Structure 1
């Protein structure tokens, strides 16, 4: 079968053996695969990613010398079952799956290990228990977006965002746009989006951002003396009321004293420091962008402003399932994310285009075309 193989940062179309499903596995005929920002990073920073993965207990993350078929965002149709499967779905049924698979006693990350070839291929293997049927009426182009949208849903959950919160999305690449889509689908009333690239700002508008700006903090930040002054004025008024337990009123006001929820979706050094410096007091900051280099920020600034700094990675199976159902029920419309479909032969060019921020957000691969 045909597949795109990466080795030493180079992508090439190659003939590779047709995978044979093992115990508990399904072979899929891939219908669509998404190009993830992680794929762009790992192509050139594989060792850095592999070192971190090894430190947290996964020693088989891809390295430059490995020959790897990437692609962990995908949908396909059931082609063949392996032994010890329940054969839950008919052949030809469209499914999506978590990008994890077990080989013997080892668990591998699909598309990010030479032991688990991914979706930039005509066929691939998935775990039956990790697979979910695509509801009727959901086209392959949208089903393939389940994985990146699940990342966004998890990030929104990590931010504990409510409808009355203001959400600020820094960076309108594919993951930032997915976060905007999720925030609006969950009813967040005010979403502010910012990006340096006009094409991405336009995509943010199409994804439902209420405010698209180059200056996200306008109207949100106040000098610390003004905040202290407001507090003293309120305390003065409260203490003018005889018998009023003013401390209870102050305690109740805490619920409304937080700043916005900020989503860092850029992933380059210096962005966290910039957010910590400029975000309003008591902001919750969710780091979603994948920064592959060491970075610094000033803890004393974060402490003075009581900034909550959280990091988001991946999703859980329930969030993956919830995302698929949101797509099927049209609670979320991810079509603005889609900016192109390419063949396996065009994949290398698509990688190059996505590394230059512009009009593109999510480019899908159709392995059966060409």
Structure 2
């Protein structure tokens, strides 16, 4: 079968590899869609993921169809549509340093257990939407980490897939008002369609002033200088230093700043100026419990989730898809589809 593998720094190849087989406790899944994550480009740039330098199968946002079920497996049958917990694959993280990757014709889930390695979804959910399950779990974990409460006023920086997923996540947690900040007009349009209450184009608007207009002014607190927007939670899904500067300068006393974006360089923060705000900073990585928590929301709101996808490219053009996704500003969410 064919599989996309990192073969050196900056290089991926579609190789012919041996197709896996299913044992009594395993499930064999034919890939139907797999999304491209920014980390795929990062892994490729580095030449792999230590200790698997130069031999890393790619693809960790998969959805597929069950084609074989081991005799000891319950909760799955041939023909089932499934989403996969790539952090629970027993032969290493699927597509992130493990033995297999989602950009392959077929994968095997070893020691497969329903609700742990996979979950069955309704047949009517489009494959490319099902492939959003993994990034939506990343976004949901980020919203959960902030501890947002019903009625909270939220600011999401970055209207990429994770930021848009966070909008859905905050709304699911009962947010009272969600503002999305970005510099790309069509991304902001998507944010509104998905459910954001307002958007701010930080390229031509004063973010601080607009937040005061949208969320009001926080009550004055001794030691916190100047007026601050009455926003409760800020989420960085952009990874730009300006986001941290904006959020920390705007934060009212007791606000929370969540960071799910990857910052590739150190960011300077003036903790002296922040001390009296008692700002809570939380970071978010992966999805310890959220991978299948978001599945029900995707099933219920798949038409909104579908808006996140910008490009659908067939597997026979996977190198083109990887190049497109790695080009800044060229695409928002690229999903590779399989026949």
Superposed pair shares fold, TM > 0.5: yes
Q: Alpha carbon RMSD of aligned pairs, Å?
A: 2.9
4+ runs deviating over 6 angstroms: none
Please name the residue that 1:72 is paired with: 60
Alpha-carbon contact 1:26-1:126 (below 8 Å) kept: yes
1:323 aligned residue (294, 299, 319): 294
TM-aligned CA deviation for residue 351 of structure 1: 2.8
Please name the residue that 2:220 is paired with: 227
- Does residue 108 of structure 2 align to residue 137 of structure 1? no
C-alpha spacing 1:109/1:290, structure 2 compared with 1 (3 Å): same
C-alpha spacing 1:324/1:225, structure 2 compared with 1 (3 Å): closer
Q: Secondary structure at the match of 1:157?
A: helix
Please name the residue that 1:280 is paired with: 252
Aligned equivalents of 1:285 and 1:206: distance in 2?
25
TM-aligned CA deviation for residue 178 of structure 1: 1.1
Aligned equivalents of 2:66 and 2:127: distance in 1?
13
Please name the residue that 1:53 is paired with: none
Alpha-carbon contact 1:200-1:358 (below 8 Å) kept: no
> More deviation in 11-20 or 288-297?
288-297
Please name the residue that 2:281 is paired with: 309
More helix by share: 1
Please name the residue that 1:126 is paired with: 109
C-alpha spacing 1:226/1:143, structure 2 compared with 1 (3 Å): closer
Please name the residue that 2:311 is paired with: 340
TM-aligned CA deviation for residue 359 of structure 1: 6.5
Unaligned runs of 5+ in 2: none
Q: Secondary structure at the match of 1:27?
A: strand
Please name the residue that 1:251 is paired with: none
C-alpha spacing 1:111/1:227, structure 2 compared with 1 (3 Å): same
TM-aligned CA deviation for residue 122 of structure 1: 0.7
Show CA shifts across 1:229-260 (max 9, x none). Answer: 899xxxxxxxxxxxxxxxxxxxxxxxxx9742
Per the normalisation by structure 2, the TM-score is 0.84
1:1-370 map, 5 Å: 1-7=1-7, 8-22=9-23, 24-45=25-46, 50=50, 60=51, 62-63=52-53, 66-82=54-70, 85-99=72-86, 100-103=88-91, 108-113=92-97, 115-127=98-110, 128-129=112-113, 130-213=117-200, 214=202, 215-220=206-211, 227-228=220-221, 259-269=231-241, 271-317=243-289, 319-330=290-301, 333-358=304-329, 360-368=331-339
Alpha-carbon contact 1:286-1:310 (below 8 Å) kept: yes
Aligned equivalents of 2:302 and 2:316: distance in 1?
34
Alpha-carbon contact 2:11-2:47 (below 8 Å) kept: no
C-alpha spacing 1:142/1:176, structure 2 compared with 1 (3 Å): same
Alpha-carbon contact 1:284-1:310 (below 8 Å) kept: yes
Unaligned runs of 5+ in 1: 51-59, 232-256
Computing the radius of gyration over CA atoms, which structure comes out larger, 1 or 2? Answer: 1
Alpha-carbon contact 1:200-1:359 (below 8 Å) kept: no
Aligned equivalents of 1:9 and 1:25: distance in 2?
33
Q: Secondary structure at the match of 2:109?
A: strand
Q: Secondary structure at the match of 1:338?
A: coil
TM-aligned CA deviation for residue 226 of structure 1: 8.2
Alpha-carbon contact 2:146-2:258 (below 8 Å) kept: yes
TM-aligned CA deviation for residue 12 of structure 1: 2.2
Alpha-carbon contact 1:152-1:179 (below 8 Å) kept: yes
Q: Secondary structure at the match of 1:28?
A: strand
Show CA shifts across 1:110-160 (max 9, x none). Answer: 1011x4211111111224121111134322122111111111111111111
Q: Secondary structure at the match of 1:262?
A: strand
TM-aligned CA deviation for residue 82 of structure 1: 4.8
Per the normalisation by structure 1, the TM-score is 0.78
Please name the residue that 1:241 is paired with: none
TM-aligned CA deviation for residue 332 of structure 1: 7.7
